[in-house]
Amino acid sequence: MAVQAVESSTASEGSTGSAGSSVSLGPAVALSCRECGERFPLGPIFACAECFGPLEVAYDLPTGDPEGLRKRIEAGPNNIWRYAPLLPVPADVADKPNINPGFTKLVKADNLARELGVTGELYIKDDSGNPTHSFKDRVVAQAVEAARAFGFTTLSCSSTGNLAGAVGAAAARAGLRSCTFIPHDLEQGKVVMAAIYGGDLVAIEGTYDDVNRFCSELIGDPAGEGWGFVNVNLRPYYAEGSKTLAYEICEQLGWRLPDQLVIPIASGSQLTKIDKGLKELIALGLVEDKPYKIFGAQAEGCSPVSTAFKAGHDVVRPQKPNTIAKSLAIGNPADGPYVLDIARRTGGAVEDVNDEQVVDAIKLLARTEGIFAETAGGVTLGVAKKLLENGVLDPALTTVVLNTGDGLKTLDAVAPTTGPTVVIRPSLDAFREAGLG
């Protein structure tokens, strides 16, 4: 399970340092298989040589002095590197060129709470404030440090646009080359965002699946030698970036766990890593050990995890995505089973909303809190609303809802139903007739 590696490393490894590896990635000591628990030295690998299970980073975390650690974090920079002691990055990471995402706003959403009938504290963790305006900057920033540690000079990924932009920006700043891969038929806006940072951008004649398959081939080929694919051979490190959402939420709440979190599900990795981060904070004594519930959010048009949750299944059956929430449209989510486990273990749930509810939720958040969310944010808030209406979320508790990206990136979703109240001639008479004065 997602947290086992952490627990075993903090409990049993002591301060033995990196397990057989020569790279220096701070508290990271090994890669550990999430299925069989087998350990491997830190390296650019992502699947267990024993059972083909996914690998994740295991740590030797700085236990024993929570107050000292808390002070060290609080004295750190206003970005994710304040949590360097808990991440697979070198201790001097803040001095290296990186786009330094994170420490985004945790907005106390009192207007929204009133509208939804929430009597407890309701917060939006707003990751649209990141450098390229989505949470992807957090994970890519980790991949940059792993790439440096492993001597990779080219940063790469398969992408439907947003990730290529995040990789391009991070590579540019880090002084790495980037070469990213996208399907050839993306909208111009997404192509611009992927290309503007000046790295090589390769458009592949085919679907996103074709792009993915091609990248898997490239990793094994001499043409891809020295390349770090952030979401393939650097994935174990990359994924850890999502832990910083857990750290920030708790620190911004005054080192306090929220009672309920609502988190979007694409591959499911973000949700599992937030859970991992929360468990680490408890294990380190940085927050009180108390229960919390994790809720997962999907779009109805791509709801494999939600469907499995509601049916009581442990297995996630792939779906063919059809939703406006394209950044969540992964029909065969790799971490789906782990998400089901976390939702059930914590007493949470997984729910989905349709595209109309997604658009309504985007507008609701904009209207009440002045935050313009990407469709993924609409999914998450829409699900939170539905769970409140169904009595699954407790309105009296402290709840955090994630907005993982910016509405500027998915204008098309709301454009057909968003426009002027009225069109008038430039005269006071016309204005008075419109009844707005």
Q: Which of positions 201-240 make contact with a second copy (CB under 8 A)?
A: 201-206, 210-211, 213-214, 217-218, 221-224
* Minimum CB distance to a second copy, residue 413 (Å): 10
Give alpha helix (H) positions in 13-46. Answer: none
What's 297's DSSP letter? E
What's 132's DSSP letter? T
Residues 242, 233: Cα–Cα separation, whole Å: 17
SS3 label, residue 43: coil
Q: Does 192 bind a second copy (CB under 8 A)?
A: yes
Binder among 191, 325, 361, 400 for a second copy (CB under 8 A)? 191
Q: Does 424 bind a second copy (CB under 8 A)?
A: yes
Q: Does 371 bind a second copy (CB under 8 A)?
A: yes
Binder among 42, 362, 376, 402 for a second copy (CB under 8 A)? 362
Q: Does 75 bind a second copy (CB under 8 A)?
A: no
Q: Does 193 bind a second copy (CB under 8 A)?
A: yes
* Minimum CB distance to a second copy, residue 221 (Å): 5
Give alpha helix (H) positions in 320-421. Answer: 336-346, 355-369, 375-389, 411-414
Binder among 70, 105, 256, 344 for a second copy (CB under 8 A)? 105
Angle between helix axes 136-149 and 162-174 (nearest 10 degrees) is 50
* Residue 367, number of CB atoms within 10 A of its CB: 12
Joined together, the tokens standing for residue 247 give 């750290």
Tokens 């590197």 found at: 81
Q: Does 363 bind a second copy (CB under 8 A)?
A: yes
Interface of this chain with a second copy, residues 148 to 177, rule: CB under 8 A: 168-173, 175
CA distances to 138, 216, 231, 340, 389 from 348, in Å: 25, 35, 28, 9, 15
Q: Does 182 bind a second copy (CB under 8 A)?
A: yes
Give the burial class of 379: count Cβ atoms within 10 A of its Cβ; 0-12 exposed, 13-18 middle, 19 or more buried. buried
* Minimum CB distance to a second copy, residue 430 (Å): 9
* Minimum CB distance to a second copy, residue 131 (Å): 7
Of the ranges 7-15, 298-306, 309-317, 415-423, which one interacts with a second copy (CB under 8 A)? 415-423
Q: What angle do CA 243, 249, 252 make, to 5 degrees?
A: 135
Nearer to a second copy, 311 or 436 (CB): 436
Instruction: Mark residues 27-66: x for contact with a second copy by CB under 8 A, - for none.
Output: ----------------------------------------
Q: Does 367 bind a second copy (CB under 8 A)?
A: yes
